[in-house]
Amino acid sequence: MILVTGSTGFLGAHLLYELICKGLRVKALYRKGSDIDFVRKTFSRYCTDFTKKFEPIQWIEGDIMDLYSLQEALEGIDKVYHTAGKVSYNATDKDVLLRVNQLGTQNLVNACLDAKVKKLCHVSSVSALGRSEQGETITELHLWKTSRINSYYAISKYGAEREVWRGVAEGLDAVIVNPSVIIGPGNWKSGSAKMFSTIYKWMPFYTPGTNGYVDVRDVAAIMVKLMESDIKNERFIVSSEDIPYRQLIWMIAQNLERGKPFIRLPKILAEIGWRLEYLKRIVGIDPTFTREIVRSAFNKFYYDNQKAVKALDFEYTPIEESIKNTARIFLDDRKG
């Protein structure tokens, strides 16, 4: 039996679909008030018999911040996929990021050790590998360095990884995946999926940075392959391609039949912009972009994906195909 945390999230929903399609028995941990219908909608995007596939999932209410609920959820569990976590690039969310991502992972690792779980797959982020010097390609062996461009999200995910490695030292078998920016259909108002709704409304600006991207279905597939393999106590960068922001935005705009951004945003204007955006918090509105987002948008990051390719004989989905598929679903959702 398998347990998935963060099951109603973007990656969690796609992972559930991957597991169910393989005929595996799955228990899904969800927090009170979570949108389980989002999982059902995700299933409907990939098959016609989605109701039949959705039914076998065993739902259990719980929270990674509640050790007792984790102990109950882990009864009879052999393998755990940990996708739960907080994603934010607002510095004001520092405390909640550290609490949910680091302490929550600590709770889960402890519960897995107590329950004698056979294997854990922890979803981290390429940001937990630390930031590189300009032009440097990051591998799984990259050492974390203190840097002003390390976001609080990155710091919290780095801390979460340390909890997993501590669990490994205490006898827990685990694998860690470090995805780059994940592309796919999700909540069009948040996360990477928000790029599609933003560009659909038209966005004339682009920034000179570069980053790694990967299809959400590839992340789920690699996680399952790692958990079904004999590989343990290793980490894997999960990234398809490194693409300049301008190229990425142009591809999205083209597939949404929108005008391509044509103005390179000067860094000084971006610095002024995030400060003005910050004022939105006074009236209770989360800013669209923050200091941490701006810093990332003007840097170039490159990632070596060959470890997963060679270990699993895996072929990534081209990002152009991922964008085309995601844009189609976005437009279908607007019609519906």
Domain count within the chain: 1
Residue 137 lies in a domain: yes
Cα dihedral sign, 43-23-175-301:
negative
Under 8 Å between Cβ of 89 and 151: yes
pLDDT at 274: 42
Q: 259 in a domain, yes or no?
A: no
**CATH number, domain at 33?**
3.40.50.720
Q: Which residues of 242-256 are buried (b: 16+ CB within 10 A; e: fewer)?
A: bbebbebbbbbbbbb
Tell me the three state secondary structure of residue 19: helix
Q: Is the pTM value of this prediction over 0.85?
A: yes
Say which amino acid occupies 105.
T
Which domain, by its residues, includes 15?
2-184+215-239+302-316
174 bridge partner residues: 120
122 is a domain residue: yes
User: Kind and range of the H or E element at 251?
Assistant: helix 245-255
Assigned domain for 293 exists: no
pLDDT value at position 182? 95
pLDDT averaged per 10 residues in sequence order, the chain, 336 residues? 95 96 94 90 88 90 92 95 88 86 96 96 93 79 80 92 97 97 91 88 78 96 97 97 92 90 65 50 56 66 95 96 96 85
* pLDDT of 247: 92
For residue 273, what pLDDT is reported?
53
Give domain status of residue 206, yes or no.
no
Residue 265 lies in a domain: no
Residue 93 included in any domain = yes
